[in-house]
A and B are shown apart, each in its own frame.
Chain A
Amino acid sequence: MSGRVWLYGFVALTAAYLVLPIMAVVPAAFSAQSFIKLPPEAWSLRWWTAFAADASWRRTLVTSLQVAALTTVVAAVAGTAAALGIDRCGPRLKLLFGALFLGPVVTPVIVIAVALYAMARAAGLVGTLTALVLAHTMLALPYVVLNVGVSLGGLDRRLLQAAAGLGAGPWRIFRTVTLPLIAPGVIGGAVFAFVTSFDEVVLSIFLSGPTVKTLPVRIWEEIRVEYTPLVAVAATIMLTLALLAALVSRLMTRRAAA
């Protein structure tokens, strides 16, 4: 019996270690002081007002949302198409393309960042939206391909044959049969793509410029030197958006399972 108590105690501690530290930035964002002390001695919204009033912080948030939105669209469309293409390949090609799309997942991200920086610098693309969107799309693609691939695996092929037998063309079959059935996978992949892009730091540090800079890059720059509760506000915004995305994804999988 005491073994059980130990196990439960251990698990509770692990859960606390996993979750509680993440929340530490939230109280820091509601501090009334001009420096971060946890927990704050007095509470206020002054740093939220300061964030809203600061054009440069606002711009990084807008840039982040722009990059994440564009990445989501490009990755969802290209990734879904790729998953459909892989689905049509024989087993050997399936393995090959699967491995190719997994490349960015197993390569250390700093290596990709430095390589991309060298290339983007030569092409004059450092500090552009294009470079950030392309880089984020490359990172997000594997998740879309995997997610849609799983959905395609569970697809009842007889429905497609029925549609074809009734005279529907490939595009019509895709639009009216395949897409609605794999929609949870596509949306799940799109949500991953959004979060991947919105949270991405390492590639963005190398590819951002003074005018095109994402929110995480600004946070990174600030906390390496000297930070105020303003950074905690920015981090809390990131946290909130990630939570919303997790919630959307959870609702989608629920619906898919139902």
Chain B
Amino acid sequence: MSGAGGTGKGAAAALMAPALVVVAVVFLAPLVRLFAMSFEAKAGPLAAYLEVLGDPIYRHVFVNTFVVSATVTAVAIAIAYPTAFALTRIGPAWRTLLFACVLFPLWISVLVRTFSWMLLLERNGPINRVLVGSGLIDQPLSLLFNRTGVLIGMVQVLLPYAVLPIYAAVLRIDPALIRASEGLGASRLRTFLSVLLPLSMRGVATAATFVFLLALGFFITPALLGGPASMTLSMLIDSLVNERLDWPLAAAASMVLMVAALIVVGLAGRFVSVRAIAEAHR
């Protein structure tokens, strides 16, 4: 008896049964069905995969998805690292406030946040009006319905997922090491490069994995802030189902996206715990 009292394996199975049924019926079974559908193209079992992977238009979508995800990850880490570092250095009152600023967005729907960005980034929106009004630019910038808009919105939505694991990693570093490094005459940059950065690398890796993984499958933000030229894989899957009604093709594209996500998790699993990823997620 290893658990919270009770009568062994039968009780454990009975307790897990309802949740397992939900996961089996609503998650596993539909995925298996979709997998089967990906081989049901009229032109032959592998035709959908050949089309999805071979067509230059679809290849453009893959490349765009990858470039957007990688850029979002890089920018998010670049902003998150100093933020996480500052979190460990500032006074308790400011830390509470800054923490609230990092955690607060996680409670707000991605749809609402993306809608806000639509209002802000518009041609005549407040950001363009301020920029033109201050004389910084002559013409309003086109910040919406292109990759710029997608990046601005996605980095903001995914930034908290980058800050939290890095903060946890920096927090675990023994401050004595930093004092020792500085006491031995290392410059701040040197201390950062040879002490802080290597010791916080696991946190950075977890953050990068999680942001990249979420970015790969992001739908709402790229669909609303992006344009036709910045189509991502999830937008493609949506249009294959809802506009072209091509189920085998949509299923094959879904499987490709899922395999990509699994590869990311698999590669990352060597050095970060997938559980830590899920725990950072709220």
Contacts and interface: CB of A to CB of B under 8 A. Distances in A.
A21 B113 contact: yes
B241 A28 contact: no
A163 B258 CA distance: 47
Nearest to B97: A15
A160 interface: yes
Given A88-B4, A115-B33, A170-B6, A110 B23 contact: no
Contacts of A89: 2-3, 12
A216 B37 CA distance: 29
Contacts of A242: 107-109, 112
A239 B107 CA distance: 9
Interface string B6-34: 11110111111011101101111111011
A170 B6 CA distance: 6
A242 B2 CA distance: 38
B105 A18 contact: yes
Contacts of A142: 278
Contact of A11 (B31, B82, B116): B82
Interface residues on B, range: 35 or more
Contacts of A138: 22-23, 26-27
Given A15-B98, A81-B19, A155 B4 contact: yes
Given A101-B23, A118-B33, A138-B27, A36 B119 contact: yes
Nearest to B260: A108
B219 A109 contact: yes
B26 A134 contact: yes
A202 interface: yes
Contacts, number: 269
Nearest to A79: B19
Interface string A102-138: 1111111111101111110000000000000011011
B27 A111 contact: no
Interface in A136-157: 137-138, 141-143, 145-146, 152, 155, 157
Contacts of A42: none
**Chain A contact residues, majority secondary structure:** helix
Contacts of A17: 79, 156, 159
A28 B119 contact: yes
Given A18-B104, A118-B37, A102 B274 contact: yes
A186 interface: no
A219 B115 contact: yes
Given A88-B6, A164-B5, A112 B27 contact: yes
How many residues of A sit at the interface, in one of the four size bands?
35 or more
Contacts of A198: 109
Interface in A12-44: 14-15, 17-19, 21-25, 28, 36-39
Contacts of B124: 37
Interface stretch (B43-51, B132-140, B195-203, B247-255): B247-255
B34 A239 contact: no
A234 B14 CA distance: 41
B3 A201 contact: no
Contact of B282 (A88, A135, A143): A143
A192 B14 CA distance: 24
B160 interface: yes
Given A114-B237, A138-B22, A88 B11 contact: yes
Nearest to A196: B282
Contacts of B29: 119
Interface of A: 3, 7-8, 10-11, 14-15, 17-19, 21-25, 28, 36-39, 74, 77-79, 81-82, 84-90, 97-112, 114-119, 134-135, 137-138, 141-143, 145-146, 152, 155, 157, 160-161, 163-164, 170, 173, 178, 192, 195, 198-199, 201-202, 206, 216, 219-220, 223-224, 231-232, 235, 238-239, 242-243, 245-246
Given A15-B97, A119-B29, A216-B111, 18 more contacts: A15-B98, A19-B104, A22-B105, A24-B120, A77-B18, A88-B3, A102-B274, A105-B278, A106-B265, A106-B277, A107-B258, A110-B237, A111-B257, A114-B250, A201-B110, A219-B112, A235-B112, A243-B107
- Give 7 nearest A-B pairs by CB, closest first: A108-B217, A88-B3, A85-B15, A85-B16, A82-B19, A115-B30, A199-B109
Interface of B: 1-9, 11-16, 18-20, 22-23, 25-31, 33-34, 37, 79, 82-83, 85-86, 89-90, 97-98, 101-102, 104-105, 107-113, 115-120, 124-126, 156, 159-160, 188, 213, 216-217, 219-220, 224, 234, 237-238, 241, 247, 250-251, 254, 257-258, 261, 265, 274-275, 277-279, 281-282
